[in-house]
Amino acid sequence: MSDPFGQISQFLLDLLTGWGLEAGLAAFLLKLLGAAAMGMLALFSTFLFIWGERKLLARIQIRLGPNRAGPFGIFQTVADFAKLVTKELIVPSGADHFVFLLAPILVVMSAVAVWAVVPFAPRFIGTDINVAVLYIVAVGSIGILGIMLAGWSSNNKFALLGAFRAAAQLVSYEVPMVLTLLIPTMLAGSMGTVSIVEAQRQMPFLILAPIPALLFFISSLAENGRAPFDLLEAESEIATGFNVEYGGLMFGMFFVAEFLHAFTIGALTTTLFLGGWLGPGVDRYPILGVVYFFGKSLLVWFTIIWVRMSLPRIRIDQMLAFNWKLLTPLALAAVIVFAVADKLAPGGVLGRTLVLLAGNALLAVGTLAGLWVHARASRRAATPPVGSTAPMRVNPS
Amino acid sequence: MLQDWLFIGLLLPIAVLLPAVAIGLNWLLGPKKPNALKRSTYECGIETVGEAWVQFRAQYYIFALVFVIFDVEAVFLFPWAVAYDKLQLYMVLEGVLFILILAAGLVYAWRKGALEWV
């Protein structure tokens, strides 16, 4: 029981070599099996995530949600899949065919590929590469590229607007996300996800770094492109934006990617800030790690849906100002504060925690003061004294 | 080292293959009766004028440019963050100096009005 995942992989390895395969080939086949299993798991779990999200949305809106197909409507997504898979694939005549087909595949690929470095439990991880954090950023950007390609190749003005908004939004929010990723890297002294989880054995980074955790969460939400940051597919403004020309499963693939990504955000937040699989008793029974990991991830996932239901969509100028004038400076300041504070912190968990918490408090006070000054300035600008030439703030866009 | 990347090398083709298979299945199962009206651009019911690949406002492009500056600089910061435990205080301060130069870029873009949505 001490190492179930290691034992399973050893058992399969022994089985394959027992069939007379070479050790190298057996190891390769095992990796292939693992990769196929992970890809399947990621895509098929989306059936559950979509159902779960629709159920939760319904509860928040005091509705029942899907409740016809199977117990609690759990097969609703399967029914939707069956419907989408028998639809005609329409490629608009003016579209760039190859790019149009490629885009949904790229989007799903990026959502699945991130799972390779997510540590679900001790020794239960696709691969423990030493640049996992950079890998997450790099692979995540492919999804953004897919969305832009989809909007661009459709030859539709609404889709093009969606693609431009994707370029402005997804790309902008990448900046605070990458900058806040520096902080777990710095605190753990490694970019590997397993080392980052292990470094949280004494104290999860959420307690050491609550503000970077919040920054990461908000910018990930924007990366996912859903309310309150769903400008790229704003139904009431630009039809559905980048995916307006898509139908059938090609359309479905964008939603597979989006719903899967919502859970992936939970998994990444758990890994980087909530201590991953760590929890009481996990060293004796590693299988508990899976429970802790999915428990924490689903908690974050629930928060994402909660935010989605609670907040209205923001305007594009607000979205960009929020990123460039609040999140990015705050992320830069957070990196500086953590770099200096962690170096000056005395040894021992308690001393380090207190010094870093003081740094967080400094950041919070600084941010609130800045916001207060800004709010006062814009109030004054909005109500100019009689006879002055102060410009009125007009509604942009 | 290279062994670690094998899994990713295997997962990426699988991650491409799975949605491609799903879309292929859709192509097999779905009806195939295209006509000119069905394949026309879906905009607002009136016949579409011109194509979508037109010159467009540069505002979006400026944000993408500012992004490139930050992302490239952030990549330079990652080795510094990994080596953080081994660094002396003055080396950390040099990193801070680098971030401050980066912040100066942000202030410049801000003052120039590149971050205003007009």
Question: Who's near A229: CB < 8 A, 6+ residues apart?
Answer: A169, A173, A221, A222, A313, A314, A319
Q: Indicate the SS3 state at residue A318.
A: helix
Give the per-residue pLDDT at A1: 47
- Judging contacts by C-beta atoms under 8 Å, the chain A residues touching residue B10 are 31-32, 35
> Residue A2 class from Cβ within 10 Å (0-12 exposed, 13-18 middle, 19+ buried)?
exposed
Interval A189-228: pLDDT, tens: 888 888 888 888 888 888 888 889 999 999 988 888 777 8
**Is B62 at the interface with chain A, CB within 8 A?**
no
Higher pLDDT, A4 or A244: A244
Cα separation, A173 vs A323, in Å, equals 6
Cβ of B19 within 8 Å of Cβ of A159? The answer is: no
N residues, chain B: 118
Mean pLDDT of A119-141: 82
ipTM: 0.85
**Is A50 at the interface with chain B, CB within 8 A?**
no
Give the per-residue pLDDT at A388: 57
Residue A87 and residue B25 in contact, taking contact as beta carbons nearer than 8 Å:
no
Residue B117 located in a structural domain: no
Handedness of CA A44, A46, A50, A51 (dihedral sign): positive
Residue A310 belongs to domain spanning: 4-9+26-382
Residue A44 located in a structural domain: yes
The number of domains in chain A is 1
Residue B53 located in a structural domain: yes
Cβ of A245 within 8 Å of Cβ of B60? The answer is: no
For chain B, the straight-line distance linking the first and the last C-alpha, in angstroms and rounded, comes to 49
**Residue whose C-alpha is closest to residue A338's, from A187, A202, A210:** A187
For chain A, the straight-line distance linking the first and the last C-alpha, in angstroms and rounded, comes to 61
| Longest CA span, chain B | 70
Mean pLDDT of A284-308: 86
Provide the 8-state DSSP code for A391: P
CATH number of the domain enclosing B14? 1.20.58.1610
**Is B117 at the interface with chain A, CB within 8 A?**
yes
Mean pLDDT of A226-244: 76
Residue B49 located in a structural domain: yes
CA within 13 Å, CB half, A205: 32
Residue A232 located in a structural domain: yes
Cα separation, A257 vs A302, in Å, equals 17
Residue B116 located in a structural domain: no
* Rounded (5°) CA angle B81-B83-B85: 95
Cβ of B6 within 8 Å of Cβ of A129? The answer is: no
Q: How far is CA A47 from the centre of its chain?
A: 18
Q: How far is CA A71 from the centre of its chain?
A: 30
Interface probe, candidates B2, B21, B67, B75, chain A, greatest A C-beta count within 10 A: B67
Question: Would the pLDDT of A372 be above 60?
Answer: yes
Q: Indicate the SS3 state at residue B69.
A: helix
Give the per-residue pLDDT at A188: 85
Cα separation, A56 vs A42, in Å, equals 20
Interface of B with A in 19-58 (CB under 8 A): 19-20, 22-23, 25-27, 29-34, 36, 38-43, 51-53, 56
Residue B102 located in a structural domain: yes
pTM of this prediction? 0.86
Q: Which of A74-83, A371-380, B54-63 has the lowest mean pLDDT?
A: B54-63
Residue B118 located in a structural domain: no
Under-50 pLDDT residues of chain B: none
Residue B89 located in a structural domain: yes
Residue A388 located in a structural domain: no
Q: Which residues face A124 on adjacent strands?
A: A121
Question: Would the pLDDT of A324 be above 80?
Answer: yes
> Residue A268 class from Cβ within 10 Å (0-12 exposed, 13-18 middle, 19+ buried)?
buried
Residue A213 tokens read as 């955790």
The number of domains in chain B is 1
Residue B89 belongs to domain spanning: 2-111
Cβ of B7 within 8 Å of Cβ of A127? The answer is: yes
- Judging contacts by C-beta atoms under 8 Å, the chain A residues touching residue B42 are 92, 156, 239, 244-245
- Judging contacts by C-beta atoms under 8 Å, the chain B residues touching residue A157 are 43, 52
Instruction: Kindly report the three-state secondary structure assignment for every residue of A75-103.
Output: CHHHHHHHHHHCCCCCCCCCCCHHHHHHH
Cα separation, A39 vs A383, in Å, equals 57
Interface probe, candidates B2, B8, B35, B55, chain A, greatest A C-beta count within 10 A: B8
Residue A32 tokens read as 């292939």
- Amino acid in position B92: V
Give the per-residue pLDDT at A389: 59
Higher pLDDT, A69 or B50: A69
Cα separation, A155 vs B51, in Å, equals 6
Mean pLDDT of A82-104: 85
Q: Which of A40-54, A60-74, A230-244, A370-384 has the lowest mean pLDDT?
A: A230-244
- Judging contacts by C-beta atoms under 8 Å, the chain A residues touching residue B12 are 109, 113
CA distance readout (Å), B13 to A16, A36, A194, A276:
23, 10, 24, 27
Chain A residue closest in CA terms to B28: A86
Cβ of A396 within 8 Å of Cβ of B18? The answer is: no
**Is A242 at the interface with chain B, CB within 8 A?**
no
Cα separation, A393 vs A372, in Å, equals 18
Residue B50 tokens read as 């011109």
Interface probe, candidates A115, A128, A161, A182, chain B, greatest B C-beta count within 10 A: A182
Interval A338-360: pLDDT, tens: 888 887 777 777 877 887 888 88
